């Protein structure tokens, strides 16, 4: 065959493959788990400090009653045996434990040490709980670029709250790509420093921040301390319970995915880093393959896939995956891109 004749043949092949792919249902990663509209994380700082006793007395049991998962930031030098026991149970219940320094120092002080305030508490928490923290929150939400760099090089760490709060309030959107500068809203009784302070008018800023995620499709991170205790700006119990009921209803309506901070960071980073390619295999099946770059390997977690059509079989690495939903119009399933290519049959 002459070179000239080869060209139309190639063009025809390309055309037939793309028209085959175009006729098959599209598959995409859902923005948030189970295709919830927005995401929300509750974070309680200062666990183990005596004045946050309400976290053990109220927060943990009330979260458990409602099937909600949160994250607890540990000041490791303050933890006694009874705290470690409670934290072990919290991990078993699906909560996250994050590193909130060794002592409650001011990070901008001259005597700050990355080894002492980041690495050392990590090692102690790992030993005591047989658990690797993956998130860090700087005390007083202050810190230096050097400390953030140090944290980014800590194995396993996927993020931290942004230092310099006043410039980093609000909801996180996809354009906020830096997982080591997570935006948040800080709970105070009066709403001071919150972006909702002026709009509050008797409303609860906890609910306002969660609602912002449910309305915008972004991810809202709440920073709080204790509940009905003597900690700094402790949340009154009635307001906390109302908030948990409020977000539980939003979870039931799939308006919000409520999950611990590292789960949300890993989810959105998986979408970002493990880019998916969809290729038609034949008239009834497609193959999904993923970019397994080092960035993807670091963060990859289970994500939800949406298929715009009814599926008959989903296979990943010779293992059948069960769809979590499957109608004529749409199916969903959960999988981790690192587990390999996925074949979807229709
Ligand atoms: Zn703190």
Identify the domain boundary among 210, 225, 253: 253
296 and 245 within one domain: no
Distance 135 CA to ligand 1 centre (A): 14
Q: How many domains does the chain have?
A: 2
63 and 25 within one domain: no
217 and 121 within one domain: yes
pLDDT for position 18: 53
User: Is 4 among the domain residues?
Assistant: no
294 and 249 within one domain: no
User: Is 267 among the domain residues?
Assistant: no
pLDDT for position 183: 96
Distance 106 CA to ligand 1 centre (A): 10
42 and 28 within one domain: no
User: Is 258 among the domain residues?
Assistant: no
Distance 318 CA to ligand 1 centre (A): 47
71 and 165 within one domain: yes
Can you give the three-state secondary structure of the chain, one letter per residue? Answer: CCHHHHHHHHHHHHHHHHHHHHHCCCEEECCCHHHCCEEEEEEEEEECCHHHCHHHHHHHHHHHHCCCCCEEEECHHHCCHHHHHHHHHHHHCCCEEEECCCCCCCCCCCCCCHHHHHHHHHHHHHHHHCCCCCEECCHHHCCCHHHHHHHHCCCCCCEEECCCHHHCECCECCCCCCCCCECEEECCCCCCCCCCHHHCCCCCHHHHHHHHHHHHCCEEEEEECCECCCCCCCECHHHHHHHHHHHHHHHHCCCEEECCHHHHHHHHHHHHHCCEEEEEEECCEEEEEECCCHHHHHHCCCEEEEECCCCCEEEECCEECCCCEECCCCEEEEECHHHCCEEEEC
Identify the domain boundary among 220, 253, 286: 253
Distance 104 CA to ligand 1 centre (A): 6
280 and 134 within one domain: no
User: Is 93 among the domain residues?
Assistant: yes
Distance between alpha carbon 21 and the CA centroid of its chain, in Å? 32
116 and 189 within one domain: yes
If you compute the radius of gyration of the chain from its CA atoms, what whole number of angstroms results? Answer: 23
pLDDT for position 174: 83
User: Is 296 among the domain residues?
Assistant: yes
pLDDT for position 21: 54
Range of the domain at 305: 19-32+273-345
pLDDT < 70 positions in the chain = 1-22, 200-202
Identify the domain boundary among 253, 288, 303: 253
Distance 92 CA to ligand 1 centre (A): 24
Distance 153 CA to ligand 1 centre (A): 23
280 and 174 within one domain: no
202 and 317 within one domain: no
Distance 245 CA to ligand 1 centre (A): 26
Give the domain CATH number at 176: 3.20.20.370
User: Is 2 among the domain residues?
Assistant: no
243 and 329 within one domain: no
User: Is 68 among the domain residues?
Assistant: yes
| pLDDT digit string, tens, across residues 7-23 | 444 444 444 455 555 67
Burial of 302 (C-beta count, 10 Å sphere; 0-12/13-18/19+): middle
170 and 125 within one domain: yes
User: Is 11 among the domain residues?
Assistant: no
pLDDT for position 164: 82
């Amino acid at each position: 065959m002459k070179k000239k004749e080869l060209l139309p043949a190639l063009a025809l092949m390309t055309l037939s493959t793309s028209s085959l792919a175009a006729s098959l249902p599209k598959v995409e990663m859902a923005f948030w788990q189970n295709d919830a509209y927005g995401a929300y994380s509750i974070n309680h700082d200062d666990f183990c400090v005596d004045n946050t006793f309400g976290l053990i007395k109220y927060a943990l049991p009330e979260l458990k009653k409602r099937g909600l998962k949160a994250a607890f930031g540990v000041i490791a030098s303050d933890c006694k045996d009874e705290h470690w026991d409670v934290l072990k149970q919290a991990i078993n219940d699906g909560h996250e434990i994050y590193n909130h320094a060794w002592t409650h120092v001011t990070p901008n002080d001259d005597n700050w040490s990355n080894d002492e305030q980041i690495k050392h508490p990590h090692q102690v928490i790992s030993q005591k709980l047989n658990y690797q923290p993956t998130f860090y929150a700087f005390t007083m939400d202050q810190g230096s670029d050097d400390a953030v760099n140090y944290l980014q090089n800590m194995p396993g760490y996927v993020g931290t709250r942004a230092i310099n709060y006043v410039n980093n309030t609000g909801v996180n959107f996809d354009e906020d790509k830096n997982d080591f500068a997570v935006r948040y809203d800080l709970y105070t009784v009066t709403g001071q420093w919150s972006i909702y302070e002026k709009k509050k008018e008797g409303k609860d800023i906890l609910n306002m921040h969660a609602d912002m995620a449910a309305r915008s499709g972004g991810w809202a991170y709440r920073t709080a301390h204790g509940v009905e205790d003597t900690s700094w700006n402790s949340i009154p119990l009635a307001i906390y319970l109302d908030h948990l009921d409020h977000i539980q209803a939003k979870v039931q309506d799939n308006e919000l995915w409520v999950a611990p901070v590292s789960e949300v960071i890993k989810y959105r980073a998986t979408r970002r880093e493990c880019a998916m390619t969809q290729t038609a295999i034949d008239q009834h099946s497609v193959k999904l393959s993923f970019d397994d770059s080092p960035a993807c390997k670091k963060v990859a977690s289970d994500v939800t896939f949406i298929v715009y059509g009814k599926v008959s079989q989903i296979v990943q690495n010779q293992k059948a995956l069960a769809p979590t939903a499957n109608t004529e119009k749409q199916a969903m399933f959960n999988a981790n891109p690192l587990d390999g290519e996925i074949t979807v049959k229709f």
